[in-house]
Amino acid sequence: MSISQEPIFQWLSQYAYEPHMVYLMVFAVMLASGFGLPIPEEVTVISVGLLSYIGAHPSEFPPPYHNAPVVHGYEAAMVTLIAVVAVDCVVFTLGRVFGRKILVMPRFKSIFTEQRLAKINGWVQKHGLYAVFVFRFTAGLRFPAHIILGMSRIHAWQFALVDGIAACISIPTQILLIYHFGEPILQVFHEFKLWIFWIIVAVLAAILVKVLIWPRFKR
C-alpha cells in the first residue's frame, strides 16, 4: 500500500499547511506508539517527511493561499526526534517509578508475556547499556523493553544519551532524505533496510568485542 493511503498520512495531511498542528499530532502519535499501541512509528516519520517535501515544492503541490505556512524539513526532523526521545524517556521513567506494578496491569498483560520478558531480560543482563541501542530499532519490543530498562540499574541520563544517539541515526535521516528527494527515496529505504540492519549489528558486535571480550583476552 502506498504511503498516501496510510490513515496516519491522510490524517496528518489535512493539516499540511498548519505545521504547529502537525507537530502537536506527531507528539500525540509518538506517545501512543511509545505505549505499545499498533501505530507504526516509521509510518509517522515517513508521513512527516512527505509533508515537508510537499511544503518545499509549491509548484508541484500548490498551497491553498499565498505564503501559507508549511512543514519545514529541518524543523520537522527536530520536532519528531524530540518527540521520539521524550516518549522513550517517559516510558523508561514509568518503569523506574512503578516497576513490577506495570507488569501485572490487565492493560499490559498481553504485552509482557513470559517469552518476551525472558528475551528482554536476557539482552539487558548480557549487554547492559548496549541493549538500549538495540531496542530503539525493535518496534515490537520497544515499550516492554523500556519499562524493563527503567527497572534496571541503568541511569536515566545513560538511557537518554544512548537512546538519543540511536534515534538520531534513523529519525532525522529519514525525514531529511524524504524532504530533499520525495517519495522515490522510499524505494531506496526498502531495498537497503536489511543492509542497514546488518551494518548496525556488525557495529554493535565490534563494540561488544572491544569493550567486553578484548580486555578479558588481554588479561
147-194 per-position pLDDT tens digit: 999 998 889 999 999 999 889 888 998 899 899 988 887 776 666 655
A 10 A CB-CB count for 116 gives 16
Task: Report CA torsion sign: 204, 141, 86, 15.
Answer: positive
Any idea where the domains of the chain sit in the sequence?
3-185
Q: Euclidean distance between the first and final Cα of the chain, in Å? A: 55
Q: What is the mean pLDDT of the chain?
A: 84
Percentage of the residues of the chain whose pLDDT score is greater than 70: 84
Q: What is the pLDDT of residue 88?
A: 95
* Residue 120 in this model has a pLDDT that exceeds 60: yes
Mean pLDDT in residue range 5-9: 86
**pTM (global) more than 0.85:** no
More confident residue, 35 or 151: 151
Does the pLDDT of residue 216 top 60, yes or no? Answer: no
Encode burial over 124-156: b for 16+ CB neighbours within 10 A, e otherwise: beebbbbbbbbbbbeeebbbbbbbbbbbbebee
